[in-house]
Structure 1
Amino acid sequence: MNETVPETVPPPVIEMQGIGKSFPGVRALHDVSFAAKAGEVHALVGENGAGKSTLIKILSGAYRPDAGTILLAGAPVSFQHPVEALRAGISVIHQEFSLLPERTVAQNLFLGREPVKRGLIDYTAMRAETRRVLDLFGAGGRIDPDMLVTELDVASQQMVEIAKAISLEARVVVMDEPTAALNEAECEVLFGIVGKLRDRGTAVIYITHRMREVTRLADRVTVLKDGEVATRFDTRPAPDVIVRAMVGRDIADFYAPRATREEIGDVVLSIRGGGNAALRGIDLDLRAGEILGFAGIQGAGRVALAMALIGHRPFTAGKVYLSGAEVAFAHPREAIRAGIGLVPGDRKAEGLTPMQSVRDNGMLTARAFAGLAATHKANHHTDLAGMDRLLDSLEVRAASYDQSIGSLSGGNQQKAIVARWLALKPKVMIFVEPTRGIDVNAKAGIYHLMRELAREGTAILMISSDLPEVIGAADRILVMRAGAIVSEFGPGPTEAQIMLAATGETEAAA
């Protein structure tokens, strides 16, 4: 009689058992267990401060755990340095890029492991392999291996980070907010890459605040809350189920009610025939109390429009009217003095001085435009005590406003940047990617803050690559393509309608 031999189940590629980590006065992780199998995508989600980053830093060798064990393919490992984890096959794509800006794309991909031929670096082989990896997800046509990283836009830099991890042929790939800088089309390419990694047996740990990505990609989901495992899902739950596990409320509560007709006032900003090297024939009206959303694929002209309005890359054609008076801004200072403020899409590179205090970051514009701020003393936000009151009113969470702003969560950093502009009482506020890289609970705070500003009479222009965000937060949506406004939607269009307009497929169908 033949006996059935029980099938041997291979151990997870990576397993973390009972991980604990504390810092002075803070317990970051307590008894956290997490595992990822070969050929699966395991989503790790939670609010900022839940412990995700600490857990990944332990996995990658940046931190040593106070308690617990790490197993790689069933064998205990202990990494003293991130290089050791990398050599063991664990590659982390951080949200904050680790690329060297003055090196080429190829040099960044092969940093520290350059191919050698006859004692010299084989640049031909390095370029060829770089091109092969970039071609895997359709970036080879627009990213040349010999381009300097500093010449690339944010989305292209994100692609290079992903290519770097793939080129290492890692057994475990950790992706931390990989789509934060990507548009819809690039996200689709990334999702295809995640699928290819899964198919070839790579364990993918996927960290994101975008619930639709979790429900689309993840085979399993682990939710962290306050440094502990709140719950696990062995299937793909609905977004509402994940959000409730994270923050205890539904997605529907995240967006403030849209403006009523009575709340939308007169036209504050008008553009007629606006154009420059990146824009053509821009016509729009923005009203007080309105949130006007802009959608479109990367390079459609949305950010170029923001830069033109703030005077960074000015309009060279057409006319701009602010409160009925014609204006022309040749420099951001002129736009700011006229009453236009901008919250940039890359807050760390363009919006913050990370080593300075929260308070000093909030005071930057008031100090730079002291004369202008003096005219707004009714705000009482143009001195240090007034800034503290403003930061309090925006519910900026910090142990002290004297601490460096770089130590705050993304959502609190974003609120501090908004506080900076509110001290000047702008007529128009431009938000570029307002919730990039912040958790779902902090996103809700930003949405409600934007709506509150609108109800106080500020005209808001919002540019976002997150379609649910545009649909949920905006009163009206303009879609751009190839530097022009091609469609307008009232409240509540579908994502499909917007994408068809953004890609030109609506015209093709017609």
Structure 2
Amino acid sequence: MTKVLLELRNISKTFGDVRVLDRVGLRARAGRVLGLVGENGAGKSTLMKIVSGIHRPDPGGEILLDGAPVAIASPRRAMDLGIGIIHQELNLLPGLSVAENIFLGREPRRTSGRIDWRAMRDAAAELLRSLKQDHIDPRLLVGRLGVGAQQMVEIARTLSQRAEVIIMDEPTDALTDVETKILFDVIRHLKSDGKAIIYISHRLGEIFAECDDVAVLRDGRLVHEGLVADLTEGQLIHQMVGRAITDQYPYEAQPAGPVRLEVRNLVAPGVAGVSFTAHAGEVVGFAGLMGAGRTELARAIYGANRLRSGSVLVDGKACRLRRPRDGVRAGIAYVTEDRKSDGLIQPHAIRTNMALSALPALSPGGMVRRAGERAVVADYMRRFAVKAPDMEAEVRTLSGGNQQKVSLAKSLLTQPKVVILDEPTRGVDVGARREIYTLINEMKARGMCILLISSDMPELLGMSDRILVLSRGRVTGAFARDQASQHAIMERAVA
């Protein structure tokens, strides 16, 4: 067996009265990728935050690096010990440039002590080139980049630390197939250099394709550790959730309803004359590479981005869209891809976040009816299986997947006619994904039309009635469900 670079022994963590981790042991070996999997709330991110110095473990546990016990009291200490982490939730400063974010706290300096800006930009550009992201200008403010590009900057920052143990927490969630393949090439190069990689993902295909070993957490405990090759996907799912899950994409066809949404020659930032219709009870999937204009199109339809020309009609009625409130009033709901910055108010409670968009309906006469609000929120928490102590828990204390469930519920509380789902299963485990897909089927049955934007090609192929392909802000391909294939879609995505 290869050398163990990182070993965890009896790691536990308690927050208040909640035990999140219970005597977890783990080993990451040089030149191998360890897949760490489990449902949302299983403790994966908490465990990695302990390894990276963000949280301190409860007394009694031990962390060993290269066989020697270490205390990791801070992220800086973890970095000094050769541990790097790519967080699931982006951890960048939007007001700083790409180069400044990559080398924050480690800026190259001249003999005078001043920052060597040219050297820093050149080094950032070289890292971005290694990730085939030459189009990202190191001088650009990170806040002006899309989520996918920001994820690549986060990856570049971790690579710049030259760590021996690299933790990747859902690194492909915001990446398209092309960017994901680039990342996998980087992982293989890191393996050949003898790095130990811990790879957290809800995309089980990635676990089987890229990982050598696998460890499964369930309810804060390690329930399985072994070789990936010794498991089938069904067996791995059973280890994760304690039950078998069949049919990951439970598609249900609905009779074609009337046109619910019509978009006519829409021009907006990043959108160059898009037209399409979507029917009641239909899921229209949107595919495309990073920068193709999918999110920009969604934001324009919702009213978050100003239209330059063109029109949007719901049930045949033209909508005047100048801000998101107009979209909500027109019956359009938008679940953003960036729940941390745009979808939720992190310091607020689950209750206030869920009810935010639906406040007019919950406050007849201008006064919020608390009993009604609590009843509705409790119902959605139950339907979405949100793991939290209660509805007053702050959203920022939830796992990424549970935050996504709150974001979905917030949008659906407005009882919309059109639902735009932008990467709806980003950071969501296999069990919760199926719950979301079942909810999509329920929305179809109730006559809503759903626009599904996803970088997960099997998800698009599995749940869409039709798929439209965008490239450079235009529709370059359209496929019926029985005509769509990954190869055909990629051909049009690069057109």
**Is the shorter-chain TM-score for this pair beyond 0.5, marking a shared fold?**
yes
Q: How many residues align?
A: 488
Match of 1:210 in 2: 203
Distance in structure 1 (CA, Å) of the matches to 2:272 and 2:73: 55
Q: 1:343, 1:434 within 8 Å by CA — same for their partners in 2?
A: yes
Q: 2:260, 2:417 within 8 Å by CA — same for their partners in 1?
A: yes
Distance in structure 2 (CA, Å) of the matches to 1:393 and 1:204: 36
Q: 1:247 corresponds to which letter in structure 2?
A: V
Asked whether 1:347 is paired with 2:310, we answer no
Asked whether 1:227 is paired with 2:217, we answer no
Asked whether 1:152 is paired with 2:140, we answer no
Match of 1:279 in 2: 271
The 5 A counterparts of 1:182-331 are 182-236=175-229, 237-250=231-244, 252-261=246-255, 264-331=256-323
Distance in structure 1 (CA, Å) of the matches to 2:251 and 2:158: 42
Distance in structure 2 (CA, Å) of the matches to 1:60 and 1:73: 16
Q: 2:175 corresponds to which letter in structure 1?
A: L
**Per-residue deviation at 1:411?**
3.6
Q: 2:264 corresponds to which letter in structure 1?
A: R
Asked whether 1:125 is paired with 2:115, we answer no
**Per-residue deviation at 1:394?**
4.3
Asked whether 1:134 is paired with 2:128, we answer yes
Distance in structure 1 (CA, Å) of the matches to 2:55 and 2:76: 12
Asked whether 1:445 is paired with 2:435, we answer yes
Percent identity over the alignment? 42
**Per-residue deviation at 1:282?**
2.2
Of 480, 485, 488, the match for 1:494: 485
Q: 1:298 corresponds to which letter in structure 2?
A: M
Distance in structure 1 (CA, Å) of the matches to 2:291 and 2:218: 37
Asked whether 1:414 is paired with 2:404, we answer yes
**Per-residue deviation at 1:429?**
0.9
Distance in structure 1 (CA, Å) of the matches to 2:380 and 2:70: 49
Distance in structure 2 (CA, Å) of the matches to 1:412 and 1:133: 33
The runs of 5 or more residues in structure 2 that have no matched partner are none
Describe the shift of the 1:381–1:269 C-alpha distance in structure 2 as closer, same or farther (beyond 3 A). farther
The runs of 5 or more residues in structure 1 that have no matched partner are 1-8, 505-510
Moved beyond 6 Å, runs of 4+? none
Asked whether 1:336 is paired with 2:331, we answer no
Describe the shift of the 1:238–1:395 C-alpha distance in structure 2 as closer, same or farther (beyond 3 A). closer
Of 105, 126, 132, the match for 1:112: 105
The 5 A counterparts of 1:412-491 are 412-491=402-481
With structure 2 as the length reference, what TM-score do the two structures score?
Answer: 0.92
Q: Higher mean Cα deviation, 335-344 or 490-499?
A: 490-499
Of 472, 495, 503, the match for 2:494: 503
Distance in structure 2 (CA, Å) of the matches to 1:193 and 1:54: 25
User: What SS does the corresponding residue of 2:93 show, helix, strand or coil?
Assistant: coil
Asked whether 1:38 is paired with 2:38, we answer no
Match of 2:353 in 1: 361
Describe the shift of the 1:417–1:68 C-alpha distance in structure 2 as closer, same or farther (beyond 3 A). closer
Distance in structure 2 (CA, Å) of the matches to 1:163 and 1:137: 8
**Per-residue deviation at 1:370?**
5.3
Describe the shift of the 1:481–1:30 C-alpha distance in structure 2 as closer, same or farther (beyond 3 A). same
Q: 1:213 corresponds to which letter in structure 2?
A: E
User: What SS does the corresponding residue of 1:67 show, helix, strand or coil?
Assistant: coil
Distance in structure 2 (CA, Å) of the matches to 1:169 and 1:222: 25
The 5 A counterparts of 1:78-89 are 78-89=71-82
User: What SS does the corresponding residue of 2:72 show, helix, strand or coil?
Assistant: coil
**Per-residue deviation at 1:389?**
3.8
- Deviations 1:402-460, CA, capped at 9 Å, x for gaps: 22222233343333333333333211111111111121111111111121122111111
Describe the shift of the 1:456–1:130 C-alpha distance in structure 2 as closer, same or farther (beyond 3 A). same
User: What SS does the corresponding residue of 2:337 show, helix, strand or coil?
Assistant: coil
Q: 1:258, 1:474 within 8 Å by CA — same for their partners in 2?
A: no
Describe the shift of the 1:102–1:44 C-alpha distance in structure 2 as closer, same or farther (beyond 3 A). same
